[in-house]
């Protein structure tokens, strides 16, 4: 149960995120977002005369018979999409060696993507997960709805801090009846990844946002330290003055990142890094630009 002071602190952070996210969306994200995501279907618009090159499957034979010349059905793209932000709130995501934790970075990204979606007429929903799915908020419109989502991302405390991408993916596949855009925000320090993400990506437009911290890439030379696994509680003493140990740590971390990116590539999942020591908004901007370019090819 959160104390009054904790709730006040969280709501102050939510308000700061709202102001920052709204400004970024207004200044640069809205157009990129709009050009990056297709509508989830097509609606009938009108009829027009058949022209050379039109697909014959769109000929309306009743109108053709009445008008005594071929007519085809016209459609327009359905603009409204369902956007789901799936956020990992396991123990490892609460870590941060700089100013913000990985969870706070995830909340910032969710705020920017959420306000972008709302501005373009889409509905936004939320899944929070750790070892199990913890909270599912169905897609809706409205800033009050989105602010509730951001608060939940910052405030939720899982009883079991372990991570299961598989359980999160299975829940989304079972729950989402309509094809949706799913932003999976996690550090992806979970096994297995391949089959669950592949299953989700086959059914929904899946985008992976991998949150990370610089100390997860390189171990600094700071003497003997006690390292604690935030998900299992396991403790071990490490002598960071050992150059071979630091090198082995860096290589292991790099192999993990390469393996995760390989899973994304295998299943055609667009992805971007979100670092606690980097500009996450530039990273999101580059992601949306890449998707927009792919649409025009």
- The model's pLDDT over 248-297, given as tens digits with 9 standing for 90+, comes to 999 999 999 999 999 999 999 999 999 999 888 889 988 988 887 776 55
The pairing of strands 235-239 and 224-228 is antiparallel
CA–CA distances in Å: residue 45 to residues 35, 62, 73, 133: 21, 16, 7, 40
Nearest CA to 232 out of 134, 92, 100 is that of 92
Q: Is the dihedral of CA 288, 292, 293, 297 positive or negative?
A: positive
According to the model, what pLDDT value does residue 130 have? Answer: 97
Q: Which two tokens stand for residue 42?
A: 């097509």
Question: Residue 69: in which H helix or E strand, if any?
Answer: none
99-124 pLDDT, tens digit each: 889 999 999 999 999 998 888 888 99
Q: Which ranges in the chain are annotated with CATH 3.40.50.410?
A: 4-37+81-296
Identify the DSSP state of 236: E
**pLDDT computed for residue 41 by the predictor:** 46
Whether domain 4-37+81-296 has CATH 3.40.50.410: the reply is yes
Structure tokens at 106: 């995830």
Contact 210, 188 (CB under 8 A): yes
How high is the pLDDT of residue 63?
A: 83
- What is the band of 30 on the pLDDT scale with cuts at 50, 70, 90? low
What is the distance, to the nearest Å, from the Cα of residue 212 to the centroid of all Cα atoms in its chain? 14
pLDDT attached to residue 1: 53
Q: Are 15 and 150 in contact (CB under 8 A)?
A: no
Q: How far apart are CA 153 and CA 143, in angstroms?
A: 15
């Amino acid at each position: 149960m959160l104390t009054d002071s904790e709730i006040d602190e969280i709501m102050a952070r939510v308000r700061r995120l709202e102001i920052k996210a709204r400004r970024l969306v207004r200044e640069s994200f809205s157009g990129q977002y709009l050009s990056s995501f297709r509508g989830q279907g097509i609606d009938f618009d009108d009829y027009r005369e058949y022209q050379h090159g039109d697909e014959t499957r769109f000929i309306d034979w009743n109108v053709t018979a009445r008008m005594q010349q071929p007519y085809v059905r016209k459609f327009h793209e359905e603009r409204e999409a369902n956007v789901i932000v799936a956020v990992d709130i396991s123990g490892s995501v609460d870590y941060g060696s700089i100013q913000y934790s990985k969870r706070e970075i995830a909340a910032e990204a969710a705020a920017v993507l959420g306000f972008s979606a709302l501005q373009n007429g889409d509905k936004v929903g939320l899944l929070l997960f750790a070892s199990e799915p913890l909270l599912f908020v169905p897609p809706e419109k409205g800033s009050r709805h989105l602010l509730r989502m951001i608060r939940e991302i910052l405030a939720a405390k899982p009883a079991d801090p372990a991570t299961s991408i598989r359980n999160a993916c299975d829940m989304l596949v079972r729950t989402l009846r309509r094809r949706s855009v799913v932003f999976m925000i996690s550090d992806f320090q979970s096994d297995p990844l391949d089959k669950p993400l592949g299953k989700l990506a086959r059914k929904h437009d899946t985008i992976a946002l991998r949150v990370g911290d610089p100390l997860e890439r390189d171990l600094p030379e700071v003497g003997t330290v006690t390292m604690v696994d935030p998900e299992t509680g396991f403790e071990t003493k490490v002598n960071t003055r050992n150059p071979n140990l630091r090198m082995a740590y860096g290589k292991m971390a790099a192999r993990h990142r390469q393996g995760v990116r390989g899973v994304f590539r295998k299943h055609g999942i667009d992805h971007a890094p979100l670092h606690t020591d980097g500009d996450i908004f530039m990273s999101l901007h580059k992601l949306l630009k890449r998707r927009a370019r792919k649409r025009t090819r």
